[in-house]
Structure 1
């Protein structure tokens, strides 16, 4: 089900009395990972990267996945129904063996709502999160992998107050950090000048929200120590090398390490991608695999490059992602199970990098491409070079939005192919279908819509007198424009890179089973929120067992 803007949202009461729980030891002994057939996902919100992508990665890893009705998850500035989502999960946990849980959805109604006080006090947020304890008390063997987010530098931009101050509040946060933490006193006049033009009520709300969210971060770290949460990632939402998030991150790392939780609590950049990483981690953990990963960069080496909206070197980001999934980076391609080709920014030619990708694929290697040279979109130069050399359906993963997706996709797919000798054929077909659908979605969305359609949609919205960052009156026309122009691009990607693709499904006994892409049944196309930033571009493929398998 898709969410359309401006629908009425029925709120349920959050006045719920917690049920009595059994006494919990301050440090529970780890229980072994039991076999996982199905997982529950409490998403961060309803967007392609936070709902569709982790769902596909779960299926790629061979899991069945259960998600709440999207109508409960809110839309943009309409928060999700925290109580209803919690109620859904509390009931659903009985039918699954593990859960990936977005703390901001349960505490605040989603990521956007977590950036404002929005009438939600710390006490109310913590009360909403008590469902985590209830689920763990009721189902002690149920694995709970949770994630939260350190608030980004700014609020969400819109033409309306307070969004029209988003640039200034970001600037103020960076200057405040530089002046007060780094001692750059020469910047004090600029810092004070920016603060003087910002509304005081906005500054107060911003600082209160940061402190409230930090307290929630600390509370769930405590719950890792107490055994309610089995693994926790606290991601850093969009950031820069300076800003108020830096001291918050350091405080959380120190707080976690002081409790001996460095193996169960990770703090690193990322927000929308974390659910996908945790689902891939569940796949790797439950299947007992630890692939070796070789990383190669296209232009600037990852040690010398910081990706947009991040604040540490790219190589550290990649190292964090690989490590949290249980993988190991190795120095040479010949030692590796997975080859991670990381596209960075810079002026160097891309041809030799593209040649290397082609050569690895020609040798039958598992290659995944993380394309982060441009923020949130596919790099046109890399895409054009690879179009001439490979079929994108031969990749083990691809993302033009965040390398964490391509890593998670590759881990989930590799884990299934290298362990699933007893898996039913329908699950093998599901994995292959979801894998190719996710590849095709990334190309149709991040290359097709974001590179070739979104600019036109923005211009069209403005020509109609609407705001592309918060469509108020002309959503239907702009949505129709996006659908019409994107579908043809997706069809072209399917015809040239996916139609007739032969793919390994898995192993049955001693025999390799193959599938073949039979057809594209159609697309689900929609601007899920009343803005032009992202689009649902969801293909449905049919894969049939190849005669080669018989």
Structure 2
């Protein structure tokens, strides 16, 4: 399903109740052009009718991991930046934090629309359990029913044998889902239990057995039992998916290790899955990495690269000496290894020859809270400038802070580099950040190098709309929201009884605050976008693209918690 906000009609946009804030008129924009920050607060969703904005573009069906922005809005925008029509189930089927997705309805929808697409990208978590959160509980579905649901993949392969099927599945993380502040203690205890269990029984550290047994008494039995049974069921599904690859039903399978660490039950599962893949010699068709929310766009990028017989090469620059060997607290492998895995998934390679690389990935590994006196942000800016002067395609990822390095972002902004780079990300885990950025850049370059040849001028113009909307989304979310607004809100909420993990009726108060902050932030950010001019690839008439206006940005809280904020900019493109 394609969701495009095309304009404002009073205070209603496609069924949304919209609350307007102040507007901002960017310098140099068309007279009367303004940017409004609009709030969506009701439960109605965008129209469910699906259409193809790219007449000549490929169409990919995505069964997403869940309904969060990173798994719906982000793939839609990244796909659009490469002229890919992304078809997803109606929003009402996907559930939310409190409700599982409607797997049976999704299966029916999948079969019904299978003949309309050029490729399938399927989240096994959504298809089988009803989403990522549902996959962490044994209450969503039993093992027998889970296996039965996988048969729909065999059905569509039988009826559409030439259409590639890419599947992604998570390896259960090391603890439970937190739906409210009251579950925080259980969250940490289950995580610690899994680490101790792994160290005692896999690593043989018997001295920790007493601590493990004591912890088992402290964790509510129902919680631990549900967690263990969910792991057992999910591992069976992991194994069954490997079978489907070996039978030729699934063309490519990607396992993503959800939030984890160096110890935990997931470690043994990874070892067993890896052994099975190697035993069947399926290493080129089944891969595993650390991450979850980036898996869909990685597979989208892989599909596009394979379709056009492209293998993008990456040259890596780390901003600190220890960067390559650093391991995030939410991941279980060093950064260097995780980057290699992500690049391989999209059909890419890593090169040590700077001049031969298609992309130059600048990896920001300076920890803001532990910045060394020797770290020089200006040197990083100079490095980026030198690469751009050589016409290199630069990608910037800030991977260690789970948000942007504020001082670094300010330098990028002041040096007018935000739109000179191919992509940017500073969102959540390193794997998430890397996957989003390299997928966006790769898909965009497939359009520039190959896909544009079969597109109309209107199709080409539309890709720029998606590209700029996505970049604006990233900068607003990764820097302005995560770096400034969230910390301020947490301080304010700590003085109240409001739970940041379940805002309840306080959602509107939070969105009002975000609205006011964005009204100021957009004044700083928008001028960079309004001055951008690009040339259509292969244009014999030297047609140029520019941003005419950014009439509004819609914000909402789809999971009613502080961590998830949906930010949907609307960019109007001008061609001349």
TM-score by length of 2: 0.85
Moved more, 153-162 or 85-94: 153-162
C-alpha distance in structure 2 between counterparts of 1:8 and 1:474, whole Å: 18
What is residue 109 of structure 1 aligned with on the other side? 130
Matched, 1:517 2:544: no
| Equivalences, count | 518
C-alpha distance in structure 1 between counterparts of 2:502 and 2:510, whole Å: 12
> 1:134-533 alignment to 2 at 5 Å?
134-159=155-180, 164-346=185-367, 347=372, 348-375=375-402, 377-401=403-427, 402-419=433-450, 420-495=452-527, 497-508=528-539, 513-533=543-563
C-alpha distance in structure 1 between counterparts of 2:250 and 2:239, whole Å: 13
Deviation readout 1:449-470 (Å, 9 max, x if unpaired): 1111122333444545221112
C-alpha distance in structure 1 between counterparts of 2:557 and 2:126, whole Å: 21
C-alpha distance in structure 2 between counterparts of 1:129 and 1:482, whole Å: 41
C-alpha distance in structure 2 between counterparts of 1:38 and 1:7, whole Å: 28
What is residue 17 of structure 1 aligned with on the other side? none
Cα 1:8/1:64, change in 2 over 3 Å: closer
| Structure 1 residue 490, shift from structure 2 partner | 3.6
| Structure 1 residue 309, shift from structure 2 partner | 1.0
TM-score by length of 1: 0.89
C-alpha distance in structure 1 between counterparts of 2:160 and 2:341, whole Å: 30
CA contact (8 A) 2:139 2:226 kept: no
Moved more, 231-240 or 388-397: 388-397
CA contact (8 A) 1:157 1:163 kept: yes
What is residue 8 of structure 2 aligned with on the other side? none
C-alpha distance in structure 2 between counterparts of 1:480 and 1:6, whole Å: 14
Residue 68 of structure 1 aligns to a residue whose secondary structure is coil
Residue 454 of structure 2 aligns to a residue whose secondary structure is coil
C-alpha distance in structure 2 between counterparts of 1:6 and 1:77, whole Å: 16
| Structure 1 residue 295, shift from structure 2 partner | 0.6
Structure 1: runs of 5+ lacking an equivalent: 10-34
CA contact (8 A) 2:532 2:547 kept: yes
Structure 2: runs of 5+ lacking an equivalent: 4-15, 18-39, 46-55, 428-432
Flag the structure with more relative contact order, 1 or 2, with Cα contacts below 8 A and sequence separation at least 6. Answer: 2
What is residue 30 of structure 1 aligned with on the other side? none
Residue 395 of structure 1 aligns to a residue whose secondary structure is coil
C-alpha distance in structure 1 between counterparts of 2:335 and 2:264, whole Å: 19
| Structure 1 residue 448, shift from structure 2 partner | 0.9
In angstroms, what is the RMSD of aligned CA positions? 2.2
Residue 62 of structure 2 aligns to a residue whose secondary structure is strand
Deviation readout 1:89-146 (Å, 9 max, x if unpaired): 2212211111111110111111011111124101111222222111111111111111
C-alpha distance in structure 2 between counterparts of 1:210 and 1:502, whole Å: 51
CA contact (8 A) 2:342 2:434 kept: no
